[in-house]
Amino acid sequence: MNVRQGKSAEAKRSLKKRGVFVREMRENRELYLMCVPALIILVMFCYIPFAGTWMAFTDFNVVDGIFGSKFVGLDNFKFFFSRHSMGWKVIYNTLFINFFGIILGLIVPVSIAIFFNEIRSRLFKKLTQSFMFFPYFLSWVVVGAIIYGFFSSDVGVVNRILTELHMEPVKWYAEPKYWKGIIIFADMWKWSGYSSIIYMAAMAGFDGSLFEAAEVDGANKLQRILRLTIPMLKPAAVVLTLMSIGRIFYGDFGMIYGIVGNNPVLMDTVTVIDTYVYQTMRTMGFSYSTAIGLFQSLMGLILVTLANKAAKKVNEGEGLF
């Protein structure tokens, strides 16, 4: 008796649950239909490809297909970390470029926002902000063209200056050692104007009376910047930096290829995980490059989760997304 009662209660509950679902679908059908196109795109380009990650554990060949090819376990991953592949070097390049990118991407935009705030002339503000924001609108290919204008051996600006100063011109495009620096600088150049706007938005929300009070108390501008502005910018800076740290295993494919192109001499020093995946796809087959991509995604997932936790701690429960 009791058992039967329990069963029917359960059935009722599940029926009720289904009822809720059906009723919700009927009631808000139009809203759900409006989500369908976007969800189809996500399924097509983000979710279905997950099935393909199986290739990472096989020795893929076209004839046997994704699920018919020979299973090899973790061999592809092992090879990536072995001495025979560029694995560690590529990871090092990625982390190196991103690490300095993050540091410059913190200091420069914050400085811009702070000093921009000290400027009174409206025309000056308008002009300089237009200039600083402009690089964001350029593709990496265009930035690559600009960099060529600076570093080309014969006509480039830098070598002409070196000659003026009676120094030896450098064959930049044949010298790998400079390019990590050039790329880090280019990244800073392209994004600083953009990121500084985020900090300016944060500053626009500051309580002005605090600054007035500090001024009345005799604090000069530098003290106000150091004691008020910077501490108040900290939450925004921490969140943005955590976001970049969460993506530290992702290189910017467009940046590397746009600037260095397929220059065989420079490729080694600036190959990041993303460009390596693309190169190995063409030279070493799908399985190996899938494995590297999967490794990258997993590292990304772990780091983003950690960064999100950290952000919640700093930001009173508000995560990154």
Residues from 12 through 41 that contact other proteins (CB under 8 A): 20, 24, 28, 30-35, 37-39, 41
Of 86, 96, 128, 211, the residue at the interface with other proteins (CB under 8 A) is 128
| 49-55 own/partner pairs: CB under 8 Å, 24+ apart | 52/290, 53/290, 53/293, 53/294, 55/286, 55/287, 55/290
Scan residues 38-97 and list those touching other proteins (CB under 8 A). 38-39, 41-42, 44-53, 55, 66
CA distance 130 to 124: 10
Shortest separation between residue 195's beta carbon and other proteins, angstroms: 9
CA distance 196 to 190: 11
Shortest separation between residue 59's beta carbon and other proteins, angstroms: 14
**Closest Cα partner for 177 from 92, 272, 268, 276?**
268
Shortest separation between residue 34's beta carbon and other proteins, angstroms: 4
Scan residues 218-237 and list those touching other proteins (CB under 8 A). 218, 220-222, 225, 236
DSSP tag of 260:
H
String of contacts with other proteins for each residue 234-263, x by CB under 8 A: --x--xx------------xx--xx-xxxx
Shortest separation between residue 3's beta carbon and other proteins, angstroms: 33
User: SS3 of 59, please?
Assistant: strand
Residues in a beta bridge with 59:
70
Scan residues 140-199 and list those touching other proteins (CB under 8 A). 141-142, 144-146, 148-150, 152-157, 159-160, 171, 173-174, 189, 192-194, 197-198
Token digits for 218? 């005799």
Residue 7 or 313: the one with the smaller Cβ distance to other proteins is 313
Of 208, 264, 316, 317, the residue at the interface with other proteins (CB under 8 A) is 264
Task: Say if residues 99 and 278 touch (Cβ distance below 8 Å).
Answer: no
Of 64, 118, 207, 212, the residue at the interface with other proteins (CB under 8 A) is 118
Residue 14 or 305: the one with the smaller Cβ distance to other proteins is 305
Task: Say if residues 31 and 45 touch (Cβ distance below 8 Å).
Answer: no
> Is residue 119 involved in binding other proteins (CB under 8 A)?
yes
CA distance 278 to 11: 53
How many of the chain's residues bind other proteins (CB under 8 A)? Answer: 115
Residue 51 or 74: the one with the smaller Cβ distance to other proteins is 51
DSSP assignments along 221-232, one per residue: HHHHIIIIIHHH
Task: Say if residues 269 and 175 touch (Cβ distance below 8 Å).
Answer: no
Of 184, 248, 277, 310, the residue at the interface with other proteins (CB under 8 A) is 277
